[in-house]
A and B are shown apart, each in its own frame.
Chain A
Amino acid sequence: MHISPFGPRQEPRQPLSSRPTSSKRRRRLTLASVGALVLSLGLAACGGDDEAEDGKTTLTVATFNEFGYEGLIDEYMKLNPDIKVVQKKLGTWEEHRDNLYTKLAAGSGLSDIEAIEGDGMPAILEEKGAFLDLSDDAVEGRWLDWKVKAGTNADGELIGYGTDIGPEGICYRADLFKKAGLPTDREEVAALFADWDTYFETGKDFVKKMPDTAWYDSSKGTSQAMINQLAYPFEDEDNKVVATSNPEVREVFDTVTSMQSAGLATNLDQWSPDWVAAFQNDGFATMACPGWMLGIIEGNAAGVKGWDIADAFPGGGGNWGGSFLTVPTMGEHQEEAKKLAEWLTAPEQQVKAFDAKFTFPSQVGAQEDPVLLKATQPFFNDAPVGQILSNRAAAVELQPYKGPKYADIITAFQAAILRVDQGQESPDEAWDSFTSDVERIG
């Protein structure tokens, strides 16, 4: 296509005498058709299915971020020699979700097992018939009640097997606390994080002494933590959108934006390259810290000494994230996939995943596992992370209701707060544009 057809010199037309004779022409024709045949065979080979090689059934598992499944997949393949498991990992849930919906719409291409982030689950539950009902006697009573409820659709079908949950503590930089004259010991620090008021007031003292370091990592993370403590943040039980009329949401918005103007926030977009770089530049001193975040902090802050985690969370407890495994009905090996999902989410396996990446189990049995309770983490000053996260999970009193529009609304909510962070809009303007964004979402 990109051959430029504009050469000024034209080839002289071939004289008739040198035209190929008919026998030559025939040979060319044969060559051409052989070529076409080879090409079409090649294309057919590309579309071939994945079962043929050495008679094994290949199962694909699509995940994002860190599920800690690498070791488990090897183990499963050893236990089941006739099954080959391939994990497809994407960096973030957003990328994974975009990919998932594209393939769901196309009606093909999904993996045999698709991981779904908790906040995205309500929208997935709306897709009737697209995912297998995984109800099974074998998994009765395996998970926390609210986790099962979040994975069950309106018809009572269990669509997702719970993997992890995200009980939150507060991670903090003990070295920076020391410089600011704050206590550094885990137990003493916990008192500073007892409720949001104390947390923010301590933050104001901190930034007075340490003007180059913010108190928390991003308005996005803090607002997400606060939203996760509301019963019906954006939608009521009939899925009617109440985001802009709910006074509690407005309160979160006002609190976070006023703390921003008090200089507590970094004003960085969470997950942006700048946010990642801030870990290496003493950008902030604390952050809301669900179990799965520990691995991310350890990666981003590699080489930084002083991180610790307190057994406390403002406003009691809070859960941020945690995922499910689902089996799309377009898959060819749904039975085998269900078996694998069942195995991966069994308590014994989830404890191993926790050991690998601190994904805190949603399984009742795993939460009491002695291996988990004894787990410590050198990077966080040898904190007993297993015990702390277990306490944090017990402190979670309330699970926010999340309807099908939740993910879209919280994206708009956080964009509004980011606009204030970036100085593009005043808090009132940002709230107004959030209101019209919510109307647009419908």
Chain B
Amino acid sequence: MTSQPTTAPAGEVSSSTSPAGPAPAREPLPRETPPRLTLRQRLSRWDVRFSPYLYVSPFFILFLVVGMFPLAYTAYVSVHEWGLIGGKGEYVGLDNYRAIFEDRYFWRAMRNTVSIFLLSSIPQVIIALGVAGLLDTQLRGRTFWRMSVLIPFVVAPAAATLIFGNLFGDRYGLINGGLGLIGIDPIAWHVDTLPSHIAIASMVNWRWTGYNALILLAAMQAVPRDLYESAALDGAGKVRQFLSVTIPMIRPTMIFVVITSTIGGLQIFTEARLFDNVGLGGSDRQWQTVTLYLWELGWRLRDLGMASAVAWLLFLFIVIFALVNLAVSARLGAGGRK
């Protein structure tokens, strides 16, 4: 969701370009009413003043229609009884929210979501940073390497999940087969909670790491090369250069990547949905994420009122998480810069 619109103050642009008059007036001009502007001049002034807003307005109008309206409508649905097909029923106030808080599967879904988020987003950003750092060097066939990290992103997630389903089979899966060869007991990927989270997180990481790496690479390319020369003259090795020059310089992009992967990581659905054929997140909801829980309420139990309430809770949860993340990553980046 576009919850973080970069609110570039468009007004500043117009004021800085508008002719503010001859700045230091050497000799005071006789005070008189300014000459009446012609229509043409006025139009041109309006153009300068208001056009920027007009140019950015499509995004905000679109956001209002496809972002704010569903958000508000979801809130409206969440305080009603609302069948998937039957539609609107009685106004019930916060009953839906209360019922969710009393449902043990909601709390389990929250636990699973946070756990899968941590297992996916953290390694994802770290590995992406490393991969981007490597791709930023003078490799042979750079374009080939850069494009190939994007391949997992192009594969349909459902198809990838099928392949991973065979890898992570409990009894006849490839990974357990490999572990058996070196004498390790098979892991119950579809039974035990943590292994199931690791399996799902690895699907997510496989898909998104390359994408994030490319974004970080784009930022790294823009770091002025003379900084590295100065650092090298000061005796900094490659690792030190990476930590003390590259990372602080790409901090805004890092924050962007962290925020988007937080939003994505808290909304994992496909991988969890297709991890077994029932689609409810395991026999004991071991890997049911909040989005999957929402979907169960809305489409299996056909209660859109409850599902909407979950959607709102998830929205608030993501906003809080993203803000915490923003604070943490902003501080981390600042700490690195001496």
Chain A contacts to B: CB under 8 angstroms: 1-2, 4-9, 13, 92, 94, 98, 101-102, 104-105, 127, 130, 268-269, 271-274, 277-278, 281, 408, 411, 415-416, 418-419, 422-425, 433, 436, 440-442
**B284: which of A127, A268, A424 is its contact (CB, 8 Å)?**
A424
State in angstroms the CA–CA spacing of A268 and B170 once bound together: 9
Digitize B239-275: 1 where CB-to-A-CB distance is under 8 Å, 0 elsewhere: 0000000000110110010000000000000000000
Q: Which of B85, B165, B173, B188 has the most CB of A within 10 A?
A: B85
Q: Are A281 and B103 in contact (CB under 8 A)?
A: no
Of B6, B84, B249, B304, the most chain A CB neighbours within 10 A belong to B84
The complex places the Cα of A274 from the Cα of B169 at a distance, in Å, of 6
Give B residues with C-beta under 8 Å from A: 2, 6, 17, 84-85, 103-105, 165-166, 169-173, 188, 190-191, 215, 218-219, 222-224, 249-250, 252-253, 256, 276-280, 283-284, 299-302, 304
22 contacts between A and B (CB under 8 A): A1-B2, A4-B215, A4-B253, A5-B6, A6-B219, A8-B222, A8-B223, A8-B249, A9-B222, A13-B17, A92-B277, A94-B278, A94-B279, A101-B302, A104-B85, A271-B277, A273-B166, A273-B172, A277-B169, A411-B280, A418-B283, A436-B104
A411 to B219, alpha carbons, bound, how many Å? 49
Given A277-B171, A415-B280, residue A2 in contact with residue B223 (CB < 8 A):
no
Residues of B within 8 A of A440 (CB): 103, 105
* CB-defined contacts of B249 to chain A, threshold 8 Å: 8
* Contact A6/B283 with A274-B173, A278-B172, A424-B191 known, Cβ cut-off 8 Å: no
Q: Is the CB of A408 within 8 A of B166?
A: no
Known A4-B215, A8-B223: A268·B171 in contact at CB below 8 Å: yes
Contact A274 B172 (CB under 8 A): yes
CA separation between A9 and B223, bound complex, in Å? 9
Task: Return the chain B residue nearest A266 by Cβ.
Answer: B171
- State whether B253 touches A419 (Cβ < 8 A): no
Given A4-B218, A102-B299: A269 touches B277 (CB 8 Å cut-off): yes
Which residues of chain B have C-beta atoms less than 8 A from A127's C-beta? Answer: 85
Q: A8-B249, A272-B169, A441-B301 are in contact. List 10 more A-B contacts (CB 8 A).
A: A8-B223, A92-B277, A94-B278, A272-B277, A273-B169, A274-B172, A411-B278, A411-B280, A419-B283, A419-B284
Residue in chain B with minimal CB distance to A2? B215
**Looking across the interface, which residue of chain B has its beta carbon closest to that of A433?**
B284
Shortest beta-carbon distance from A304 to chain B in Å: 14
Give A229 to B252 CA distance when docked, in angstroms: 64
Minimum CB–CB distance for B200 against chain A, Å: 15
* Cα A7 to Cα B302 with chains together (Å): 47
From residue A26, how far is it (CB to closest CB) to chain B in Å?
Answer: 14
Please tell me if the beta carbons of A101 and B284 are within 8 angstroms of each other in the complex: no
Residue of B nearest to A92 (CB): B277
> Assuming the A-B contacts A4-B218, A6-B253, are A101 and B299 also in contact, with contact meaning beta carbons closer than 8 angstroms in the complex?
yes
Chain A residues in 8 Å Cβ range of B166: 273
A408 / chain B contacts, CB cutoff of 8 Å: 300-301
Contact B299 A424, beta carbon cutoff 8 Å: no
B301 proximity list for chain A (CB < 8 A): 408, 441-442
A425 neighbours in B (Cβ, 8 Å): 284
Contacts of B252 in A (CB 8 A): 6
Residues of B contacting A419 in the complex (Cβ-Cβ under 8 angstroms):
283-284
Chain A residue at smallest Cβ distance from B275: A272
- The chain B residue sitting closest to A415, CB to CB, is B283
B222 A7 Cβ-Cβ under 8 A:
yes
